[in-house]
Structure 1
Amino acid sequence: MGVPKKRTSKMRRDRRRAANNNLRSAVQVIKCPKCKEPVLPHRACAACGTYGGREVVATE
């Protein structure tokens, strides 16, 4: 079984972990079908309070 001969430094470890941050894709923003405001997917609309065609959050 392979065992590291030397300890991995904090800088090398953190650099390797940070390299994956650039691979993440940007968050997709959709338009609310009711009020046409931008909404994150799988979230209730902050403007009108609807999700999936029905009102789930009471808004003013």
Structure 2
Amino acid sequence: MVAKKKPGPKTDNPMDTMLRVRVDKITLEKLDDSAKELNTSRSEIIQKGIHKIHDDLKK
């Protein structure tokens, strides 16, 4: 019997693209430190960084 997927929360902006990046050890440590300090995921830290840079460019 195949297990049914649990319905998750619906979103207006689904994250359906996976991005793979290469980073050096220092960058990874900074990413992990930031995620731990803010109690969030690596993905969320990267997304916030992208939004911050984009917003700064618009100024």
- Relative to the length of structure 1, the TM-score reads 0.26
- Structure number with the higher helix fraction is 2
Larger Rg belongs to: 1
> Which protein is richer in strand relative to its size?
1
